[in-house]
Each structure stands twice: as structure tokens, then as C-alpha cells.
Amino acid sequence: MSDFIWFLIVLAAIGFVSYKRYALQTSLGIVGATLLVGTIAGPIGFFSWLLFALVAVPLSYEPIRKDILSTKLLAFYKSVSPEMSQTEQEAIDAGTVWWDGDLFSGKPEWQKLHAIAQPRLTAEEQAFLDGPCNEVCTMVDDWQVNHVDADLPDEVWAYLKKHKFFAMIIEKKYGGLAFSAYAQSRVLQKLAGVNAVLSSTVGVPNSLGPGELLQHYGTAEQQDYYLPRLAVGDEIPCFALTSPEAGSDAGAIPDQGIVKKGMFNGEEVLGMSLTFNKRYITLAPVATVVGLAFKLYDPDGLLGDQEDLGITCALIPRDTEGLKIGRRHFPLNVPFHNGPLQGEDMFVPLSYIIGGEKMAGKGWRMLMECLSVGRCITLPSSAAGGAKQLALATGAYARIRRQFRLPIGQMEGVEEMLGRIGGNAYLMDAVTSFSTAGVDLGQKPSVISAICKYHLTEKMRTAVNDSMDIHGGKGICLGPNNYLGRAYQGTPISITVEGANILTRNMMIFGQGAMRCHPYVLDEIYAAQIEDKQEQLEAFDKAVWGHIGFAMSNTIRSLWFTISGNLASSTPFNDSTNRYYRALQGYSSNLALLTDISMGVLGGSLKRRERLSARLGDVLSHLYLGSAVLKRYDEQGRLQEDLPFVHWAMQDSLHQIDVAIDDFIRNFPVKPVGWVLRALVQPFGIRFDKPSDKLEHKIAHILQNPCSARSRLGDGQYLERVEGSLFGDLEQTLENMIKVEPIFDKICKALSEKLPMTQLDLLADKALAANIISEDDAKLMRETEAGRLRTINVDDFDPQELLAATSKKVKKPAAKKRAPKKAA
């Protein structure tokens, strides 16, 4: 063989061992054996062996590798690594790594993904959804809650308490329901599809708040007192973290407590003087117990030598002297209870600290651990429930509403939006199911929770905007028959709360993901912090050479993906989804490679280049979203009729990954490195196009026609055919319209006229008189016309009804007393 061919064979051997990630000694053995065969065959000579020895000996001989190479690398690492604040450290330590770790590995294990148990409801949880959950949806009038009362009715508050809606996370031994995270998600999806005030009121006590914190960190005395009362609604909780000067930067709260002695209930006790100013606190106006976050200081050393103890969480009863509470914010016309809290030099005993005195200063870690769970459930589930409800409602409306003598859902511009709504709704439900399955397995997935919060609330924004465009005037005119306007108004709230989406995308997803999910970065950080020099070097040596081998592997894997599209890679299923598994595997390698090169070239400055970080976060996010879609498709039996949703969701996610990589490379600040990255990762441009018109046409057809795929998409939503249910009425009218269409065509044919599909009641009378249709057909046409008019008509008002000062007087002469205030 020629020298060049043997050169390629040796390169192939190196690439093979790198791709397979063999251990160092195994890899050197395979490459050495290849060189030996080449030497026997003739072309491999002294120079090749010299190069091999220059690499193999330093790597294999520990005194050279560790004492010389690793020592120099450690010194360099310390010089370029950014400082990590205590709050950053606690945030990283608080969460766990789950499937996001596999996605960062460059080699996700698909069998592991599909081996994760599908979440299922218990009989008790299903009964709750079918019974109390359905019933409370029936009790809520969206217009009355939002426009007239700015609150849930007294009877709804009482019902929520009686049936323990506020106790889904509380253990049974305290009187709670102890529902799974998956069950909580399904409850919130159903409630969110009906009324945002209802879902917020139920969601917050079951997310980050006193109940969650007490169960994990409270003293036995605190648990025994508060948890049974929270379970039955005798206490309404809220949690106060955000301050005017510290929103997304919650670790910078200026609110403080000073350890001191003072009088409390007639006795001198060791306590805290609290001064705070909080805002945006959900349920604060009606709360009877406040979870309060503040920075605790001990200037007189009453608790020990440390003055700055750190963020601390305490429980403050509503009737505590000095607590200012009760006023309300008015967030975008969605009147869930939300308001400010203040206190100045308010003295409370140390026993009010959640967990007691020993938990002073431990509040940030407590919050991060609980937030990583809560953010996986509340906002993502509410967004998914809203999107599912909109998908069905908008599909029905598009079939019922006609312009130019055809359903508007047949217009291509409307089909595009219906396709996007349906595809996103399928993906969002897949993500909530997968993520809550992780929580139920004991995970505290901080990175995944940030992905869920950001992407699902943004997709809800897209869905409600598309839905509003399709509904047109029907959507913008508020009133008792408008099921869309308040969702449109309130969507920015979910974008803003629990970490603004700008912060979440630009700083959290990749910022924490690179630390938590990368298999070596955190080990390197921890190794560099070890005080014992020998132990430090041992740990760093292991981490850094593992990292170097990892980077080499992902370089080869990325190059192979670029060349072959991973066509030779095995996939768990040999059907139309196999290309998605191969693509996700390739993009996983791309992510790991781009991350390593970025950190190596930019060092600590990468932390400040938020837009680059955001794009890498987008790659990680869409890898996760796509994984959830593939898992859902498999769990539901790989049904062919669901494939339009699967294809749309996967193609959209893969296209978004492509766009993020392209933007990252184009904006990489070191241009020569960017050119190399382009050659390795994306030399031929964007690989995946956006979903096609044909695919979105299929989804639009599904949304406008009752079928099993449509039913699965809307599974669990409130669609009861009862009086007052706007969504149930839409579904019934859709079914009636489809039944009437052939009858209408029969009439047009008999009359030899091409009639508009309006005034169906009058047309029914005419056709019945001409013996064209039966009485049953005429009855169906009259019923359909009534439903059609309810669907397309909008509300109007006497001017006085719209005045804020008179609306309650017009609708409700007597002011009502809220149930939570009675409890207070």
C-alpha cells in the first residue's frame, strides 16, 4: 500500500478509538497495533513511531503527565477561571443532573431514555381529576372572576379548601393528598385551560412556598402545627422573595434581619428585627402565613462568630405586629391575588426561621432545591394546558367560522398557524410528562426546570398570538363569551415570574448546564478548590485528561455527523423517527464540542457573553424538547395518526438547533476559531428546514376534525358539554357542523343553488317544506345555527357596565366577604 493510504489507516484508528471513547491504554494499544502492522507491511517507519512515542509516553508515564503537564495545566486553569460566588455555588450544588447530562455527553443513550417509566395516575389521582377538578371548573365563570369580582367566588374558595386543592404536595400524615408531580401537572393543565386565576391560586401553594419548605426543612413543631392547617385551608400561604431592588437577581435582596434580644408575647427572647419591602407576591393579599426571605446578620455575635449569616427563610403569621399586608397589584387584568408586603424593625423570635435556628443562613440553598422542582411543574403545566385548550378551541373555531364560502381553516395562512399551535401543544404536553416523571423519580433538575419554564411559556405566547390572529375580532372583544382575550392579556405574566425569560435563556440554561451537565467541568472546578496540594493535583489530573479525551471524541463525532449524518449509528426504532435519533446524537456531540472550545478560547469571558451562552442553551434546550417528543410518541404506542405532530415538533426543534449553531458560529468573537468550527460542525449550512406546508396542512386538518389524534392532543382538558362551558359548546358545535355539512350540500344540490352557510335555521324550514330533509335534519340544522352564532358573535355592553366604579354595583349589589379573609 502507498504511504498515504497507511496514513489514512492510522488516522482512522485514532478516530475510531476517539469515537468509541476507549480507555487510554486500550486506545494506545489499538493505535500501536495499527502502527505495528504498518511497519511489517513496510510503509510505517521510525518517524511515525517517534511521533507515537512523543504522545504515548507522556500520557502513560504518570510522573511526566501529572507532575509536569497537569501541574502546568492546573496553574493555567486557575489563572483564567472566573470566580464563583457563594450564591452561584449553592445554585449549582442544589440541583441534580438527569437526562440533561446525557445530552451534554455527546453520546445520549436512547435505551436509557425509553427505560424511564411512563408516569401514570393512581386511581385516587384520576378520581380527583374526574371529580373535584371537573366540578370546580364548572363552578368558575371566567368573565365574572376577571371583570366583575376580581376574585374567585366564596363558594369556589370554600370548595378548594374542602377538597384540599392547596394540599397536593402535603404528605398524607398531615392531612394532605401527597399527589405525584405528574398528577399535579395534570390538575394544573385542566384548571389553566379554564381560568388563569384559578390555576394560579391552586398552583402557588403547591409550588415554592411554606408547604414545600416546611416538609423538607421545618422543625417537627412547625410541621405539626402548620402542615395540617395548610392541608385544609385554615392557612393560606404565600412566599415573599422579590424586592423592588432585586427581581431576577434574587440573591441581592436588600431585606434584612438583625439578630437581637427583644420582647415577644411579654417575654424577652432571642429573635430578629426584620426590615423588608416585597412586591409581586402571589396570594399575599389573602395569605394568613407569609414565607419571608431576607439576609440575616448577627453583629453582636449572639449566634456565633459569623456576622453575615446569609439568606434565611422564616414564617410570619399575618397578625404579626408591624406586618403591612393586604394591598393588591393588578397584573394585566388577570386578578389573581398578588401584592406587596412591608415591615420595618418588626421583631419576631428565632423560632420563626423555617427549620429553627440551625437553618439560619441556609435559605438560598433551600430555595434553589425547591425551585428546581416547582419550576418543572407550575408554569410549564399551566402553559401546556393553555396551549392544548387553544389548539382544540382554535381548530373548532376555524372549522365553524366561514369566509368566502369556506371554513377559514382551509386558508393556507390559517393552516400555518394551526400547524404551529398543534405541533407546539403536542411538544409541550410531552415535556411536562417527561419532566414530572423525573421529579417523581426523586430528581431536582435545576437545568431542566429552567428549560421547561422558558420554552413552554414562550411557546404558549406563540400559541396564543397565533390563536388571536385566527380568531380576529372574536378574540379582541372581551365579554362573557370570549374564551381567548384574558389568556392573551395574561401570557406575559408567566414570561416574567419565577426568573424573567431573558435571564433564564441568557444566563441560566447554559450557565448552569455547562457546570452541572458537562461530565468534567464541575470536577475541574472542585479539584482546583481542594486545599491539599497533592490531593488537588490528583483530582485535577483525572478530570482534565478525561476532559481532553472527551473533547477529542466529540470533535471526531461532530466531524462524522457532518460527513455522514450518523447514518451508520444505531437507533432504537427503524421507522421514520430514526433520523431524529441520529440527528439528536450528532447535535449532542456538536454541543459538547462547541462548549469545550468556547470555554477553552474565551475562558471566564464566556460568562459575560450572554448571547453566545444563550445560543448554546438553545441547543441544549431543543435536544431536551426533542427527546421528550420521541419518548411520548413511543409511550403512546407509536401511533401513525400522531406522526404529523411528531414530525412537526422534531423538525422545528432540529431547525432551531441549526439556527442557534449558525448564529453562534457567525458571532464567535475569534474569527479563525469560528472558521474551524464552521468546517467541523456546519460546513454545508443549515441541515434541517422548518416544518413544511404539507405537514402543517395535516395538523390543521386534525385540529378541525374530531378524531383519536385530536382527542389525545386534548387529553385531560375541561371540555364538558354543560351549560356555561364555552369550550364544551365549541366542541358540540364543531361536531354538529360536520354532521350538517352533507345535509347542507344535499339542499344546495336539490335547489340547484350555491348558498352561503348562514341562516341555517331558515334554510332548514325551507328544505323541510320542500321535503328535501327530515325533521331530525332540520332540528340539527337549527341547533347548529344557534351554536354557530354563539361561536362567531361577540359581546356588547351598556356603557355603564364597563365603568370600573359601577361594574360591581350593576352586577353584584352587595360586596362579598372572601373565604380566606374569614380564615384570617
Positions marked catalytic? 498
Map grid coordinates 405574566 to a residue. Answer: 493
End-to-end CA distance of the chain: 89
Q: Tell me whether strands 267-282 and 338-349 are parallel, antiparallel or unpaired.
A: antiparallel
Give the number of residues written for the chain. 824
The closest alpha carbon to 291, from 338, 250, 337, 236, belongs to: 236
The closest alpha carbon to 336, from 820, 768, 787, belongs to: 820
Question: Which amino acid would we find at residue 754?
Answer: K
Q: Please give the Cα distance from 485 to 379 (Å, whole number).
A: 19
Write phi, then psi, for 48 (nearest 5 degrees): -65, -45
The C-alpha cell at 266 is 411579654
Mapping DSSP onto H, E and C, the string for 683-705 reads CCCCCCCCCCHHHHHHHHHHHCC
Strand partners, 403: 406
Kindly tell me the burial class for residue 399, based on how many C-beta atoms sit within 10 Å of its own C-beta (0-12, 13-18, 19 or more).
buried
Strand partners, 267: 264
CA distances from 730 to 400, 430, 698, 737 (A): 9, 25, 21, 10
- Cβ neighbors of 595 (< 8 A, separation 6 or more) are 104, 514, 518, 616
Write phi, then psi, for 139 (nearest 5 degrees): -80, -15
776 CB neighbour count, 10 Å cutoff: 9
Q: Please give the Cα distance from 746 to 768 (Å, whole number).
A: 12
**Is the Cβ–Cβ distance between 669 and 675 less than 8 Å?**
no
Q: What is the CA radius of gyration of the chain?
A: 31
The closest alpha carbon to 250, from 259, 239, 236, belongs to: 239
Q: What is the DSSP letter of 724?
A: T
Write phi, then psi, for 340 (nearest 5 degrees): -90, 165
Alpha helices in 21-171 (DSSP H): 24-41, 46-60, 62-64, 71-80, 86-94, 99-104, 110-115, 123-128, 134-139, 142-143, 154-162
Q: Please give the Cα distance from 143 to 794 (Å, whole number).
A: 13
Q: Please give the Cα distance from 461 to 114 (Å, whole number).
A: 30
Name the helix (H) or strand (E) containing 314. strand 308-317
Q: Please give the Cα distance from 819 to 161 (Å, whole number).
A: 10
**Is the Cβ–Cβ distance between 121 and 183 less than 8 Å?**
yes
> How far does Cα 360 stand from its chain's mean position?
31
**Is the Cβ–Cβ distance between 720 and 131 less than 8 Å?**
no
- Cβ neighbors of 36 (< 8 A, separation 6 or more) are none
